[in-house]
A and B are shown apart, each in its own frame.
Chain A
Amino acid sequence: MSSRSLPLDPSIAPPGTRNFRDAGGIPADQWHADQNGETLVPTHCCFCGVQCGMYLRVNRAGKVFGVEPRDHDINRMRLCPKGINAYQQVNHPDRLTAPLMRRSRDEPFREASWEEALDFTVAEIRRIQGAHGNDAFGLLGGASLFSEKTYLVGKFGRVALKTRHVDYNGRLCMVSAAGANKLAFGIDRAGNPFSDILLTDCLLIAGSNVGECFPVMTQYLWGARDRGATLIVVDPRETAVARTADIHVALKPGTDAAFFNAVLNVVISEGLTDEQFLAEHTTGWDEVRSTVASYTPERAADICGIPASQVVQVARTFAGARRAMAWHARGIEHHSQGVENCLTVINLCAATGNLGKPGAGYGTITGQGNGQGGREHGQKADLLPGGRSITDPEHRRQICEIWGIEESELPSAGTSMMEMVWQMQRQEIRGLIGICNNPFVSLPNYATVKAGYDCLEFHAQFDFFLSETAANAHVVFPVTTWAEDEGVMANAEARVVKHNKAQEPPGGVRTDTWVMCQLAQRLGVGDKFVFPGSREVFEELRIASAGTVNDYYGITYERLEESGGISWPCPSTDHPGTPRLFEDGQTFHPDRKVHMQVVEWHPPMDPYDEEHPMSLTTGRTVAHFLSGNQTRRLGALVEQTPRPWVEIHPSHGFRNGAPVRVVTRRGSGVFPALVTEAIRPDTVFIPYHWPVPTAANALTIDALDPRSKIPEYKVCACRIEAAERIDEVPAPPTGPGRQAYPAAQVSRTDPLPPTSPQGRGTAERS
């Protein structure tokens, strides 16, 4: 230990430093004061489901020009590189500032007036629906939209377009967890706030690369460990969090249900169940117990490719802890049995009595900023506002009354996002409006997606950059960024937070709300879409959610600004919100019990054979967000992770950076090898944020979970072979007359292999 004491001499601290913590760490007052005339607008990050608080720096001309950390409850000033760089997209040279239009895909885009673009769109909607029925026109929303806009998407689809085909890209995110939560608990959200993690004694992270996907959440993990919590990570890769875990279970992709069933088997055989909790608060336990009896540690070891002793170790550690928590994400949800994987984790929590207590419970980590809020108010094919079921007559009646339409006018349930693509191929859907989504990069099996979209007679997209999908459309509406409008999002804890407007949108840009209202007016239902701004939509949303499980009625903009966030359900304006669910073991089913569900493991949908003996799994990097339409344009993030790679175990004999062709039954791509001991020898990994020919999703399978309809991104059969040269990364498309962001372009065309951009271990030094 140091012979000197630290810190050194506080009496000579830099001016003001000593007051920093004393002032609560909030620099706002001092910093808000005149710093070259700038103002700080409190808001939240536009990206992932953590929803970090931040200030946007606005100069005297009213333009966003920087970011300043903000001491919000969720992130306590911390930000990840995406959050720090997010402001750069607001005034980015690639921004679309006029509607783009063309009458066929053979023509180039031209800039058009709003009147022309809106009139053309409505004429096409009328033509297609007149000839082929209302359901021939589809609507796909996005989980990056504010909740007000997702509410409006659902209403616009059902009331203005009168189509049943309404869905959203959150379908690719956490619908498996949502389905499992609904089945087990009768409510669709995480059970505990992030802060409960700090109180746990054992933290199980399943299928979540927290360090790269939700970096700011890591502070809670490390906080728990500072207080002595044990960390268990279940992941085929040794991620930054897995590296420091007490137990890292590197199981084979697609075997999670077998593993968690086996853990429960050991919990039972060692007498570690909470029998009182099971007797008082659960149903279905006997069936679950008899099912998991066949999942011995030895059988799980065989299926999962791990030592049987690890199953026993995890069971003893989790069930033996006084308070234990399980958090999971896409790693166990992106599967053809994604819902069932989540249910096995819920069964484990319920069997050990770890629900509804500080430091004990269950949570799902949302990928998209509004992945949670995005489906709560009717943007999903089978849901109406307030999480109401579109097939429930009483729910339909309630919403029709609020919307002022006849129940006969309300369409029935539609199909999911991937199913809609198949319907496009079959010409059952001939026209589509897409709002802030980019399926050309984000959906699996790119060839099918492209073929589906190419069959569309008319396709319009809303976006603020020309995404790969928008570049294939007939009409592109330039809409606002998150910094140019106000609205709410619900983060992974179901905490509703308010985003504030920091600058006026560039000339020619309109809000998504304005565009939908204009289209509705031209479609003859303008009287049901009188919304000057988000505030008016939110007031209708509050009323539409009142009395439901997803109750927002007590949440107001003013309360959100005062409190920094309120968790739903919040039924009245004096209700404090509900950060933690299931206290006293009470769920939201009519019998208030946890409905435990039987799960039998089945293998992934893409079978292994001699041609395709290995597993391909996909995921994210910390520098990029989803399809990369936003982050692949920001120089610092492009420099940090300029291109995708394929992670390969050294046993395959590739040199670091060598071109490797990855072949699946859908296609192939050539990526530089990142030779690493951090991945199983039978598995390879490719990050998915890039378009073809460097698209992981040109390779993944479009098999769906039968209940949640989430694609099986996280496992498909593949083989790897040596190749001649690495596929070049294409630049993101830009609108007519615009130059791509030059600094980013330099890195984007860089053919060099990866240099451990996120600290992935490599087997040989490059």
Chain B
Amino acid sequence: MMGRTIFIDPGRCIGCQACVSACRECDSHRGKSMIHLDYPDEGHSVASLPTVCMHCEDPVAPCAEVCPADAILVTADGVVQQADTTRCIGCANCVNACPFGVPKIDLQAKLQMKCNLCYDRTAYGLAPMCATVCPTGALFYGTLEELQAERPGVQVADSFTFGDVVVSTGVAMVVPADKVQWPVPGGLPIVEVNGKDVAR
């Protein structure tokens, strides 16, 4: 479990993609961005939100759990690292397992890549590059107390439901104060994990 984490606040996102550019510039991902910018209501609204790795805690990192090559390390502080280049076989199991659609596969390199919470920066006491530059604070790095000091009354959630499956995460999401649900709906229900129908 991390002391500080990323908080995602879709209500503040302006869709500028500074996070995408920043991720491309950080030293561990130089040249490739590990952030998606999603448009949740594309038909009718200009709403957008960044998706970073949620660093799942319970169940611990489905991407790591399903990795046949044991290439994805989860550190003691809860950071789910990107695949170890010496182990990854590029099978994309992790891509299929991730309920948030985060890991990416470089098919040519046969290598998985994903957000590692800028471990190279947090180790030096810096915030991850995306949360550092985010012009609006749609990505915030710090503690909940620090977030609430800046944004009085803000409410967050760190558990998401996919059908009957609840996934608790190390990264948290700001939710509208008047529409708090627990856990937060996380998207389409997961019906099958490792051949087992989990929806029943």
Instruction: List chain A positions with a Cβ less than 8 A from chain B.
Output: 1-21, 23, 27, 30-31, 66-67, 69, 75, 77-81, 83-85, 210-212, 215-219, 222-223, 226-227, 238-241, 243-244, 622-623, 636, 640, 677-678, 756, 758-765
User: Can you list 21 A-B pairs with a CB-CB distance of less than 8 A?
Assistant: A6-B158, A13-B2, A19-B125, A27-B125, A66-B25, A69-B133, A75-B135, A83-B18, A84-B18, A211-B15, A212-B16, A222-B136, A226-B150, A240-B14, A240-B15, A243-B47, A623-B17, A758-B15, A759-B13, A760-B46, A765-B42
CA distance A81 to B76 in the complex (A): 33
CA distance A640 to B19 in the complex (A): 12
Q: Any chain A CB within 8 A of the CB of B137? A: yes
Of B95-103, B141-149, B186-194, the one contacting chain A is B141-149
Residue interface mask B1-41, A partner, CB < 8 A = 1: 11111000001111111101110110000000000010101
Q: Any chain A CB within 8 A of the CB of B157? A: yes
Asked if residues A759 and B47 are in contact (CB atoms below 8 Å), the reply is yes
Cβ-defined partner of A761 (8 Å) among B41, B132, B150 = B41
Cβ-defined partner of B46 (8 Å) among A10, A78, A239 = A239
Cβ-defined partner of A13 (8 Å) among B3, B14, B21 = B3
For A4, the chain B residues whose CB sits under 8 A away are: 158-159, 168
CA distance A219 to B12 in the complex (A): 9
CA distance A75 to B132 in the complex (A): 11
Which residue of the partner chain A has the closest CB to B23?
A84
Which residue of the partner chain B has the closest CB to A623?
B17
Residue interface mask B164-194, A partner, CB < 8 A = 1: 0000101010000000101000000000000
Q: Any chain A CB within 8 A of the CB of B109? A: no
For B137, the chain A residues whose CB sits under 8 A away are: 219, 222
Cβ-defined partner of B125 (8 Å) among A1, A11, A20, A216 = A20
Asked if residues B3 and A758 are in contact (CB atoms below 8 Å), the reply is no
Of B60-68, B85-93, B116-124, the one contacting chain A is B116-124
CA distance A148 to B47 in the complex (A): 42
CA distance A761 to B42 in the complex (A): 5
For B48, the chain A residues whose CB sits under 8 A away are: 240, 759
For A240, the chain B residues whose CB sits under 8 A away are: 13-15, 46, 48
For B152, the chain A residues whose CB sits under 8 A away are: 226-227
Whether A16 contacts B122 in the complex (CB less than 8 A), given A10-B143, A80-B135, A238-B46, comes out as yes
CA distance A244 to B15 in the complex (A): 13
For B161, the chain A residues whose CB sits under 8 A away are: none
Asked if residues B17 and A17 are in contact (CB atoms below 8 Å), the reply is no
Instruction: List chain B positions with a Cβ less than 8 A from chain A.
Output: 1-5, 11-18, 20-22, 24-25, 37, 39, 41-48, 76-79, 119, 122-127, 129, 132-137, 142-146, 150-152, 155-159, 168, 170, 172, 180, 182
A-B contacts besides A14-B122, A239-B46, 10 pairs, CB < 8 Å: A8-B1, A11-B3, A15-B123, A19-B125, A81-B17, A81-B20, A222-B136, A238-B46, A756-B15, A761-B42
For A7, the chain B residues whose CB sits under 8 A away are: 2-5, 143-145
Whether A8 contacts B136 in the complex (CB less than 8 A), given A23-B125, A81-B17, A762-B42, comes out as no
Cβ-defined partner of A765 (8 Å) among B1, B43, B150 = B43
B83 to chain A, nearest CB (A): 20
Asked if residues A79 and B18 are in contact (CB atoms below 8 Å), the reply is yes
Whether A10 contacts B3 in the complex (CB less than 8 A), given A240-B15, A760-B46, comes out as yes
CA distance A238 to B46 in the complex (A): 8
Which residue of the partner chain A has the closest CB to B9?
A222
CA distance A77 to B136 in the complex (A): 11
CA distance A521 to B17 in the complex (A): 47
A152 to chain B, nearest CB (A): 33
Cβ-defined partner of B182 (8 Å) among A3, A23, A239 = A3
Asked if residues A222 and B3 are in contact (CB atoms below 8 Å), the reply is no
Which residue of the partner chain B has the closest CB to A239?
B46
A-B CB pair tally, cutoff 8 Å: 203
Which residue of the partner chain B has the closest CB to A9?
B1
For A758, the chain B residues whose CB sits under 8 A away are: 15-16, 46
For A12, the chain B residues whose CB sits under 8 A away are: 1-3, 76-77
For B39, the chain A residues whose CB sits under 8 A away are: 756, 759, 761
Asked if residues B3 and A761 are in contact (CB atoms below 8 Å), the reply is no
Asked if residues A1 and B155 are in contact (CB atoms below 8 Å), the reply is yes
A102 to chain B, nearest CB (A): 38
CA distance A67 to B182 in the complex (A): 40
CA distance A764 to B42 in the complex (A): 8
CA distance A11 to B150 in the complex (A): 23
A67 to chain B, nearest CB (A): 6
For B127, the chain A residues whose CB sits under 8 A away are: 20, 77
CA distance A18 to B145 in the complex (A): 13
For B182, the chain A residues whose CB sits under 8 A away are: 1-3
Asked if residues A756 and B12 are in contact (CB atoms below 8 Å), the reply is no
B92 to chain A, nearest CB (A): 23
Asked if residues A14 and B151 are in contact (CB atoms below 8 Å), the reply is no
For A19, the chain B residues whose CB sits under 8 A away are: 125
For B145, the chain A residues whose CB sits under 8 A away are: 7
Which residue of the partner chain A has the closest CB to B136?
A218
Cβ-defined partner of B17 (8 Å) among A83, A210, A640 = A640
For B16, the chain A residues whose CB sits under 8 A away are: 80-81, 211-212, 215, 622, 758
Which residue of the partner chain A has the closest CB to B12?
A222
CA distance A368 to B78 in the complex (A): 44
Which residue of the partner chain B has the closest CB to A84?
B21
Interface pairs A-B: 4 shortest CB-CB? A759-B15, A8-B1, A13-B3, A211-B14
A556 to chain B, nearest CB (A): 31
For B20, the chain A residues whose CB sits under 8 A away are: 81, 640
CA distance A415 to B159 in the complex (A): 64
For A16, the chain B residues whose CB sits under 8 A away are: 122-125
For B79, the chain A residues whose CB sits under 8 A away are: 14
Cβ-defined partner of B14 (8 Å) among A10, A640, A756, A759 = A759
CA distance A636 to B35 in the complex (A): 14
Whether A77 contacts B132 in the complex (CB less than 8 A), given A6-B5, A12-B77, comes out as yes
CA distance A16 to B118 in the complex (A): 13
A695 to chain B, nearest CB (A): 24
Which residue of the partner chain B has the closest CB to A11?
B3
Asked if residues A243 and B45 are in contact (CB atoms below 8 Å), the reply is yes
B193 to chain A, nearest CB (A): 23
Which residue of the partner chain A has the closest CB to B150?
A226
CA distance A56 to B37 in the complex (A): 26
For A760, the chain B residues whose CB sits under 8 A away are: 46
Cβ-defined partner of A31 (8 Å) among B14, B76, B122, B126 = B126
